[in-house]
């Protein structure tokens, strides 16, 4: 038996015994790598040139942090940032209340036309921004409302409600519906059951939706440009007005800061969503 096994091993060619395993790379992996390069290479180039000492992006003249320092002394940029933060915080605060109540109402109550209202409430998610911008501008003109910073807030509330309501409704679908009923059976009022039982469970979804809506509001250019009044310039509008004459290193530096901030908020939102799922399981 041992001799037969040794004879079979001797019959195996020498090349097969010492051959190295072949690297098996699927076309899916290559395609994914190319897509990541296509998406993130321009961002890396932009970040690289934000440290360029040259005033133009044509050539590299050395490493510097001067553009980041000058950025924080630019009064126009700081004013536009203040306007964007005012719009984003105001729109998100209003949308958090309305979006949460909308999601709870659609989830727990039945009323005539519920299916129609459900479809209409999430319509801003699929309607193009240009359509929302034009419709909002026409409505404001018909109502003879003067354009200002607060008209941008009103326009941003339209799509922020939809995003927050969608995230909260997803969270609601995974909750145990009997917890609130148990609180009512133990003597709690509907208001107490909402604030002490339901709302704490919804809080991770509310925070995630608010972070998502905040990033979208900060990044919006199209709707804000249609509904902004005189002097109500947001940060994306200020950036667009400057890059029409060429992209300068200070705009590259500002773009890097915005992308890092947006990425950090998205990471926090995803982390909160993950923690919420872990607690449920």
> How far, in Å, are 5, 107, 266, 275 from residue 272 at the CA level?
60, 22, 10, 5
Cβ pair 157, 93 in contact under 8 A: no
11 pLDDT higher than 60: no
Q: In degrees, to the nearest 5, what angle opens at C-alpha 15 toward C-alphas 9 and 16?
A: 55
226 pLDDT higher than 80: yes
Gap between the Cα atoms of 204 and 278, Å rounded:
12
Q: Which residues contact 80 (CB under 8 A, 6 or more apart)?
A: 233, 234, 235, 237, 238
Q: What is the pLDDT of residue 21?
A: 59
Check residues 242 and 95 and name the one with the higher pLDDT.
95
Q: Percent of the chain having pLDDT more than 90?
A: 20
Cβ pair 149, 232 in contact under 8 A: yes
Nearest alpha carbon to residue 269 among 185, 199, 164, 145:
164
155 pLDDT tier (thresholds 50, 70, 90): very high
223 pLDDT tier (thresholds 50, 70, 90): very high
Check residues 9 and 255 and name the one with the higher pLDDT.
255
Q: What is the pTM assigned to this prediction?
A: 0.77
57 pLDDT tier (thresholds 50, 70, 90): low
Cβ pair 78, 72 in contact under 8 A: yes
Q: What is the pLDDT of residue 280?
A: 61
97 pLDDT higher than 90: yes
Query: What's the mean pLDDT in 264-281?
Result: 74
12 pLDDT tier (thresholds 50, 70, 90): low
């Amino acid at each position: 038996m041992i001799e037969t096994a040794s004879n079979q091993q001797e019959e195996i060619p020498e090349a097969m015994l010492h051959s190295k395993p072949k690297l098996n790379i699927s076309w899916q992996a290559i395609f994914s790598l190319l897509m990541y390069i296509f998406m993130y290479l321009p961002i890396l180039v932009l970040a690289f040139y934000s440290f360029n000492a040259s005033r133009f992006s044509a050539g590299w003249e050395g490493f510097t942090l001067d553009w980041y320092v000058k950025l924080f002394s630019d009064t126009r940029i700081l004013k536009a940032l203040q306007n964007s933060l005012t719009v984003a915080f105001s729109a998100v605060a209003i949308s958090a209340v309305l979006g949460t109540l909308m999601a709870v109402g659609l989830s727990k109550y039945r009323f005539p036309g519920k299916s129609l209202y459900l479809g209409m409430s999430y319509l801003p998610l699929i309607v193009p921004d240009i359509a929302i911008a034009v419709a909002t501008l026409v409505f404001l003109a018909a109502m003879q409302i003067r354009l200002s910073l607060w008209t941008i807030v009103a326009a941003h509330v339209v799509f922020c409600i939809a995003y927050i309501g969608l995230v909260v409704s997803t969270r609601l679908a995974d909750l145990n519906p009997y917890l609130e009923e148990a609180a009512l059976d133990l003597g709690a009022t509907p208001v107490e059951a909402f604030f002490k039982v339901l709302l704490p469970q919804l809080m991770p979804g509310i925070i995630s939706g608010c972070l998502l809506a905040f990033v979208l509001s900060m990044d919006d250019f199209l709707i804000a440009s249609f509904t902004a009044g005189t002097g109500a310039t947001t940060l994306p509008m200020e950036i667009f007005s400057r890059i029409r004459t060429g992209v300068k290193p200070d705009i590259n530096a500002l773009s890097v800061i915005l992308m890092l901030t947006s990425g950090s908020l998205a990471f926090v939102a995803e982390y909160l969503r993950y923690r919420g799922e872990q607690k449920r399981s």
